[in-house]
Amino acid sequence: MQVVIYTIICFIVIGGAGMYLGNSTVPLSVAKQRWLKYVVYLLITSFVVVTIWFQIFRPVAGVIVLFGYYELSRTIYSKKKPWLALLIYSLIAGGFIFYAWAFKREFQFFIYLQILAFDAFSQVTGQLVGKTPLTPRISPTKTLEGLAGGIFFCVLASVLTAPWMNISFFTAIMFGLFTSITGFAGDILASFYKRIVGIKDYSNFLPGQGGFLDRFDSFMMAAFCYSVIYFLAPGFLYEYFN
C-alpha cells in the first residue's frame, strides 16, 4: 500500500508543478480558472479514492449515474433528440454500476489511479507542450501531445502499482494502455455529444469541471469496458472479481 500512497503523492506534486509552469505564461484570469479546476479536481478525486478504499463507493457510483441522467435530461430541449444518447449512457452506466458492485476494491482502486493519471496529465501536458490539435471540431483544447502525456502517465501509474497488484510488468503496461484508450473514448464521446446539442457544460454542480458527465466520463467508460471484458472473457479478470 505504501507504493500506492507514494505514487499518488508524487503525481500530485508533479501535476502541481506542471500547472504552475503552464499557468506562468497565461493571463491571470485564465490561471485562476485552471487552478480552481485543479483544486476541485483533487477534492473530487480524493473523495472517490477514499470511498473506494473504505468500500463505500457503491452508493457514490449510483449518485454519479443519477446526476448523469439529470444532466442528459437537460438536453431534451435541443432539436437533436437525446434518446440515442440516453440509451448509450444507460449501457455505460450499467457497466459502471456492475464495476462498482462486482469487482474487488483493490482492482477498482488500481484502475481509478490510472484514470486519475490519465485525466490530470492529459490536461497538464497539453497546457505545457500541446501544439497539435487532436479533435478540433469536437474538443478544440485537446492536443496530440496532451493525449500522449496522459497515456504515458496512465501506463506509469499502472507499472508503479503493479507489485501491489501482484501482476507482471507487461500486464501492467497492457492495463495502462487499455485504461487510457477507453478513458479517452469516454472523454471524446461526452465532448462529442456536447457539440451536437450545442452546450459548453453539462451542469455547474462541480466548479470548473463541466458537470458530473465531464468529470467522470473517462472513469465510467473504462469501468464499462472492463465489465464487458469480464462478461466476454471472465477468466481474464476472474481473480479481481468479488
Which amino acid, 132? T
Q: Is the pLDDT of residue 97 over 60?
A: yes
Q: Rounded to whole angstroms, how far apart are CA atoms 234 and 73?
A: 34
Domain count, the chain: 1
Average pLDDT, the chain: 87
The parent domain of residue 218 ranges over 2-240
Q: How many CA atoms lie within 13 A of 106 on its CB side?
A: 13
pLDDT in tens, 160-219: 999 889 999 999 999 999 999 999 999 999 988 888 888 888 888 877 777 888 899 999
Q: What is the pTM of this model?
A: 0.91
113: its cell numbers: 489511479
Q: How far apart are CA 182 and CA 199, in angstroms?
A: 24
Helix (H) or strand (E) holding 143: strand 139-143
Q: At what angle do helices 57-73 and 83-102 cross, to 10 degrees?
A: 180
